[in-house]
Structures are given as structure tokens and as C-alpha cells.
Amino acid sequence: MNTKQSSTYTISDLAKRFDITTRAIRFYESEGLLSPMRDGQKRIYNQKDYTTLKLILRGKRLGWSLAESRDLIQMYNPDSNNQEQYLKVLEKVQDSRERLQQQMHDIEIMLMELDEHEQRVKTAMSR
């Protein structure tokens, strides 16, 4: 489908576009995040569904839970300036950044411990 005039998509269109499975799309639909129209058994997704899926997948890449992404998506109001949503996104970004920085620190410590252990084993082997 995916014509420029209609801005509708089949489940296959979305799966190809976002490189995910149709099963994943049906899961997001079962979670109430996507609401395609139906043409018999065929699902027809609109631009809102496309954008919602894009935001879900972005949130997933950022390490956000589906519930967190849902909350942010549901805050969107096309009739407002969405400042509350933006502030919440900034808060989530900061949380993610802090979590990643902590993970990076933990990895650095683990690498130092591995280096020390490796050196002790090499020293023991050379005796």
C-alpha cells in the first residue's frame, strides 16, 4: 500500500521499513499501542501508527521499557505545546545517560580486574 497520497501501510510495509517481524507489530497492537483499520483480515496502518511504532522502537534502542514508551507517547497532544511531554523525555534521557555511564564505569572496573588477573596468571606461569 504505502502510497504518498494515502499514507497507509500494510503490516508487511511496516515490518520491512523498520526491520522487525510482523509478530512484533501484532504484539504492539495487542498492547493497545497500534490500532490499524481492518479490510477483512488485512490490517491497514495510518501515519499515526507509523509514528507510534517509530517512537516505540526508538525508546527500545534507548533502553526504555515498553511501559515507559507508552507513557511518553500517550502524553502527546497535538493541540498543546507538549512541554510536559518534552520535560518527561528529557528526564528519561538523563536517567538513561546516568545508567549507561554507570555501566561504562562498571565495565572499566571489570576490565582492570581482568588485566590484573591475566598478569598474575602470566607471572605464575613464568616461574
Predicted confidence (pLDDT) per residue in 89-124, tens digit? 999 999 999 999 999 999 999 999 999 999 999 999
pLDDT tens digit sequence for 9-27: 999 999 999 999 999 999 9
Cell numbers given for 13: 510495509
CA distance linking residue 58 with residue 105, whole number of Å: 24
The span from the CA of 39 to the CA of 42, in Å, is 5
Supply the pTM of this predicted model: 0.75
User: What does R_g of the chain's alpha carbons equal in angstroms?
Assistant: 22
Binned at pLDDT 50, 70 and 90, residue 1 comes out as low
Over the stretch 49-80, which tens digit does the pLDDT of each residue have?
Answer: 999 999 999 999 998 999 999 999 888 887 88
Instruction: Decide: helix, strand or coil at residue 100.
Output: helix
